[in-house]
């Protein structure tokens, strides 16, 4: 803790207030980062974490408040100013040019590189930094060739290349395997030793407890408290976030699964680039049962889900729904038979965001009675339907005429879930249903899915949140490069470590002991 001794923090934000259209995103927030510390920024979605950091990174101008860098007041008009002051930010969605190489991305937006690029010099510098911080990367690789974890390394390198002293990492572990996260933490420790200050935004409590020295909790745009990590507990932090105590565990009743409902036999599916995304995968879904799918993003989860609901062509294999061959059935045939789908990308895929709630509430049933008859839409029954969803799923929205784009993430997800769950439901395919939701909304969404299970729905749950999968799944499959590494009949009996190994490509048979392993896919 030698950094603690120095008195002037690297960054000090005082009384930051930021408004968006009259809505307070940050309200009189104080925040500081010292040299040699990892400072966790914790809070529910919409608590103002990203806003605060975007203010620090010069993307937003605050209405009130000052920023001091090493004791001198600074005003950032753009990220350029912030970078010049030694502040770097790695966004959740990396700001990298996919079609360029790693080294070309390093000098993006940098001035003083001249007309000809000193490629050698740049590559040497990258090698130097990456060795120093343990960020292994091939400078001449194209960004699109890299995995998400590697792209993150590039984004961090990019900031170090610009001599950033303060690094803001916005939910960096959300996209990583446990192993990759381990490497990241090593890099973070190295940076800490070098005297960098790190702001670490996360939702995961154990990461806060293990990897940080201080925690600031934001609640509804205000600073709910800054504490030393070793002087607090996860429960205390959760209370600070929520303002009240919340029970964390879910009630999942023991149920006997029914006969096989949806059977997938050896299917292969291509991704958008025409490359194999799912290869020879088989499984079945049964009523009263949740099959969880664990895996790192981009291992064929999305393509698998889309294939199983008719949105993506199956190149090989068969899909049966209660004996009926649905391999080449249209998306509509799936919906008409009660197969519903919650996509991960709800705003880009799940909703027509410019249109209102009423229109969106029948997006996947508008051709069915009573919503339309003889080619004419019956708006009054659509409106009634949307009102039912709003009431039953507690969507907070002024009216059914509100454009969906004005809904918050949690409300959007409730609306989407309500829409998919409200009509005769036999099979539910849900991708990251709680991704990016706050604690209350997360809990609500999980309860609704468990409720569907209770009522006899067969569920495929794809998630990156292992805690969620462990708590919800009756069986757990681990996917890697479009194949199941194994299906665990008793997920809670297997350690995170072992599941992590499977997520990184080890087969269940290699990782698990005889008694833990059930059947390999």
Between 117 and 352, CB nearer to another protein: 352
Give the total of residues touching another protein (CB under 8 A). Answer: 32
* Contact flag: residue 353 with another protein (CB under 8 A): yes
Between 46 and 500, CB nearer to another protein: 46
Between 193 and 345, CB nearer to another protein: 345
> Measured between alpha carbons, how far is 269 from 516 in angstroms, rounded to an integer?
30
CB of 380 to another protein, least distance (A): 12
DSSP output for 438-498:
-HHHHHHHHHHHHHHHHTT-EEEEEES-HHHHHHH-SEEEEEETTEEEEEESSGGGS-HHH
CB of 306 to another protein, least distance (A): 9
- Binders in 34-93 for another protein, by CB under 8 A: 63-64
* Contact flag: residue 376 with another protein (CB under 8 A): yes
Using the contact rule CB under 8 A, the part of the chain among 363-371, 423-431, 488-496, 511-519 near another protein is 363-371
Q: What is the DSSP letter of 354?
A: T
Question: Which three-class secondary structure state does DSSP give residue 324?
Answer: strand
Q: Which of 349, 439, 470, 504 binds another protein (CB under 8 A)?
A: 349
Neighbours of 211 (CB within 10 A): 21
Between 24 and 100, CB nearer to another protein: 24
Phi, psi of 31 (to 5 degrees): -160, 140
Using the contact rule CB under 8 A, the part of the chain among 44-52, 207-215, 287-295, 370-378 near another protein is 370-378
> Measured between alpha carbons, how far is 306 from 297 in angstroms, rounded to an integer?
15
Using the contact rule CB under 8 A, the part of the chain among 319-327, 362-370, 463-471, 498-506 near another protein is 362-370
Q: How far, rounded to the nearest angstrom, does the alpha carbon of residue 224 sit from its chain's CA centroid?
A: 24
Which residues pair with residue 225 across a beta bridge? 217
Between 167 and 308, CB nearer to another protein: 308
Q: Is there a contact between 34 and 6 (Cβ–Cβ < 8 Å)?
A: yes
x/- binding map, residues 1-20, to another protein, per CB under 8 A? -------------------x
* Contact flag: residue 192 with another protein (CB under 8 A): no
Q: Which has the closest alpha carbon to 517: 480, 477, 481, 479?
A: 477
Q: How far, rounded to the nearest angstrom, does the alpha carbon of residue 342 sit from its chain's CA centroid?
A: 15
Rg, the chain, Cα only: 24
* Contact flag: residue 284 with another protein (CB under 8 A): no
CA angle 272, 275, 277 (to 5 degrees): 80
* Contact flag: residue 364 with another protein (CB under 8 A): yes
Using the contact rule CB under 8 A, the part of the chain among 70-78, 252-260, 351-359, 507-515 near another protein is 351-359
Q: Is there a contact between 291 and 285 (Cβ–Cβ < 8 Å)?
A: yes
* Contact flag: residue 377 with another protein (CB under 8 A): yes
Q: Which of 262, 351, 469, 487 binds another protein (CB under 8 A)?
A: 351
* Contact flag: residue 425 with another protein (CB under 8 A): no
> Measured between alpha carbons, how far is 391 from 389 in angstroms, rounded to an integer?
5
> Measured between alpha carbons, how far is 86 from 57 in angstroms, rounded to an integer?
10
Between 19 and 439, CB nearer to another protein: 19
* Continuous segment of H or E residues that includes residue 87: strand 87-90
Name the CA dihedral angle for 215, 216, 217, 220, rounded to a multiple of 10 degrees.
Answer: -170
Q: Which of 86, 172, 197, 350 binds another protein (CB under 8 A)?
A: 350
Q: Which of 352, 369, 451, 489 binds another protein (CB under 8 A)?
A: 352
Q: Which of 332, 369, 451, 519 binds another protein (CB under 8 A)?
A: 332
> Measured between alpha carbons, how far is 27 from 45 in angstroms, rounded to an integer?
16
**Beta strands 427-431 and 458-463: pairing type?**
parallel
Using the contact rule CB under 8 A, the part of the chain among 93-101, 151-159, 210-218, 375-383 near another protein is 375-383
> Measured between alpha carbons, how far is 199 from 340 in angstroms, rounded to an integer?
39
Q: Which has the closest alpha carbon to 8: 86, 72, 58, 85?
A: 72
> Measured between alpha carbons, how far is 425 from 438 in angstroms, rounded to an integer?
26
Using the contact rule CB under 8 A, the part of the chain among 43-51, 247-255, 352-360, 462-470 near another protein is 352-360
- Binders in 200-259 for another protein, by CB under 8 A: none
CB of 355 to another protein, least distance (A): 5
Between 165 and 420, CB nearer to another protein: 420
CB of 320 to another protein, least distance (A): 20
Q: Is there a contact between 256 and 454 (Cβ–Cβ < 8 Å)?
A: no
CB of 462 to another protein, least distance (A): 16
Residues of the shown chain interacting with another protein in the complex, contacts defined by CB under 8 A:
20-22, 63-64, 310-311, 330-332, 335, 341, 343, 348-355, 359, 363-364, 366-367, 372, 375-377, 379, 406
């Amino acid at each position: 803790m030698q950094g603690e001794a120095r008195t002037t923090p690297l960054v000090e934000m005082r009384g930051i207030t930021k408004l968006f259209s009259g809505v307070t995103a940050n309200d009189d927030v104080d925040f500081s980062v010292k040299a040699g510390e990892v400072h966790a920024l914790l809070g529910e979605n919409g608590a103002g974490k990203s806003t605060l950091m975007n203010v620090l990174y010069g993307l937003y101008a605050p209405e009130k408040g000052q920023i001091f860098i090493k004791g001198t007041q600074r005003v950032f008009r753009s990220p350029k100013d912030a970078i010049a002051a030694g502040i770097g930010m790695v966004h959740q969605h990396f700001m990298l040019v996919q079609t360029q190489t790693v080294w070309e991305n390093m000098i993006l937006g940098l001035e003083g590189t001249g007309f000809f690029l000193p490629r050698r010099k740049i590559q040497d510098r990258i090698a130097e930094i990456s060795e120093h911080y343990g960020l292994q990367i091939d400078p001449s690789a194209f960004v699109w060739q890299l995995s998400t974890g590697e792209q993150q390394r590039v984004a961090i390198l990019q900031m170090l290349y610009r001599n950033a002293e303060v690094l803001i990492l916005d939910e960096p572990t959300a996209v990583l395997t446990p192993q990759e996260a381990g490497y990241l933490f090593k890099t973070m420790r190295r940076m800490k030793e070098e005297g960098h200050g790190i702001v670490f935004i996360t939702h995961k409590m154990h990461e806060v407890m293990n990897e940080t020295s201080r925690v600031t909790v934001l609640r509804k745009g205000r600073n709910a408290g800054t504490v030393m990590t070793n002087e607090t507990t996860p429960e205390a932090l959760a209370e600070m976030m929520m303002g009240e105590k919340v029970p964390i565990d879910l009630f999942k009743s023991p149920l006997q699964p029914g006969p096989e409902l949806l059977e997938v036999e050896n299917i292969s599916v291509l991704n958008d680039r025409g490359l194999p995304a799912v290869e020879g995968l088989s499984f079945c879904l049964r009523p009263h049962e949740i099959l969880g799918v664990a895996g790192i993003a981009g291992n064929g989860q999305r393509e698998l889900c889309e294939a199983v609901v008719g949105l993506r062509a199956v190149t090989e294999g068969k899909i049966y729904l209660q004996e009926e061959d649905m391999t080449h059935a249209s998306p509509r045939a799936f919906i008409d038979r009660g197969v519903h789908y919650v996509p991960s990308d709800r705003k880009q895929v799940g909703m027509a965001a410019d249109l209102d709630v009423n229109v969106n509430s029948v997006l996947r049933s508008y051709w069915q009675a009573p919503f339309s008859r003889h080619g004419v839409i019956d708006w009054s029954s659509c409106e009634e339907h949307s009102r039912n969803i709003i009431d039953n799923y507690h969507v907070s929205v002024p009216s059914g005429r509100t454009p969906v784009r004005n809904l918050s993430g949690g409300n959007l997800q409730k609306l989407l879930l309500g829409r998919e769950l409200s009509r005769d439901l036999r099979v539910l395919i849900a991708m990251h249903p709680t991704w990016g939701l706050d604690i209350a909304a997360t809990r609500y969404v999980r309860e609704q899915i468990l409720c569907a299970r209770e009522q006899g729905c067969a569920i495929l749950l794809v998630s990156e949140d292992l805690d969620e999968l462990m708590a919800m799944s009756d069986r757990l499959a681990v996917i890697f490069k479009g194949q199941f590494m194994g299906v665990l009949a008793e997920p809670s009996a297997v350690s995170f470590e072992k599941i992590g190994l499977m997520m990184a490509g080890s087969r269940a048979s290699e990782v698990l002991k005889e008694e833990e392993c059930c059947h390999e896919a």
